[in-house]
Structure 1
Amino acid sequence: MNFTVQINGRTHSVDVDGDTPLLWVIRDILGMTGTKFGCGQALCGACTVHVDGAPTRSCITSIEMVGDSQITTIEALDTLAHGKALQQAWIELEVPQCGYCQSGQLMSAAALLAENPRPTDEDINDAMSGNVCRCGTYQRIRAAIKQASA
């Protein structure tokens, strides 16, 4: 089937089955490899993208489910309201260790700051609880979100 999707402000036409996960369309069909595959069950957050501004697990979201929605991936993070501030804080505070989960972490953090520009520690914990970092950089992630919100 042919689907038209809006990703990072561009229109893309893809010929895939309707139940194809958005993650595979983004990575394998369109070649945007910043969004990562983690668990395939929406448990780790590595595949987080924004669908109409909401953080969404692309590994379980089928292409037919997105319709005319605007999809934003890590490749366009710097176009989001707090994207550049988050990127800068991530660099300054040396947040990544292995880095694998970081695109999902950043996309969840950007959605949080878009909704709540001055989050408390509890707000950050709640918003980021679905993102797993096997390296355990949670303290630096929280500090970077707070720095970006300042």
Structure 2
Amino acid sequence: MPTAQSLQVNQAWHALPDAAARATLLQVLRNDLQLNGPKYGCGLGECGACTVWVDGVAARACVIPAHGVAGRSITTLEGLPALHAEGGELHPVQQAFVDAQAAQCGYCLNGMVMMAAALLARNPNPSEADVRRELSGNLCRCGTHLEIIQAVLLAAERMGQPT
């Protein structure tokens, strides 16, 4: 049940802990709710590792005060498949990342997948330039940039096909 002291995370309501008065959304997600999809990267909202959706819009959880999003809907990487899949299947973006071998260390993947899924929700047929622009604020140190771009374009292609 929504209150001024709760969050809807991955379609379930959670009371904000008392310590959340000083905590970021990322700290609450990881430390209190044990959701480890969003990662702590820079702590400044610049690398993208902590990306979540707030009311369907991609946002950097490391710079958002937890109380600032009380009563709102938060989606993490863990909640993404539930929005689009049945029977425990991966979200099409996640499956495309697997198929395109778009991961090495995996640290950036949370942000890349969440940003890509947000892009495809807004623009189901992006150009390569659209994908590059959308992901330009996400840092990947492993060098899988080309595979990541191909994964997003593959997901767009698959999501555009009738089932």
TM-score, with structure 2 as normaliser: 0.86
Residue number among 142, 154, 160 corresponding to 1:147 in the alignment: 154
Number of aligned positions between the proteins: 149
Residue number among 90, 103, 110 corresponding to 2:97 in the alignment: 90
Per the alignment, residue 6 of structure 1 pairs with 8
Off by >6 Å, runs of 4+ in structure 1: none
Per the alignment, residue 102 of structure 1 pairs with 109
Structure 2 unaligned segments of length 5 or more: list them: 158-163
Structure 1 unaligned segments of length 5 or more: list them: none
Residue number among 114, 121, 126 corresponding to 2:121 in the alignment: 114
Contact 1:43 1:130 in 2 (8 A): yes
> Residue 97 of structure 1 aligns to which amino acid in structure 2?
Q
Residue number among 44, 50, 53 corresponding to 1:47 in the alignment: 50
> Residue 13 of structure 1 aligns to which amino acid in structure 2?
A
3-state DSSP of counterpart to 1:12: strand
Measured after TM superposition, the shift of residue 79 of structure 1 is: 2.5
Identical residues among aligned pairs (%):
42
Contact 1:5 1:67 in 2 (8 A): yes
Residue number among 101, 115, 136 corresponding to 2:143 in the alignment: 136
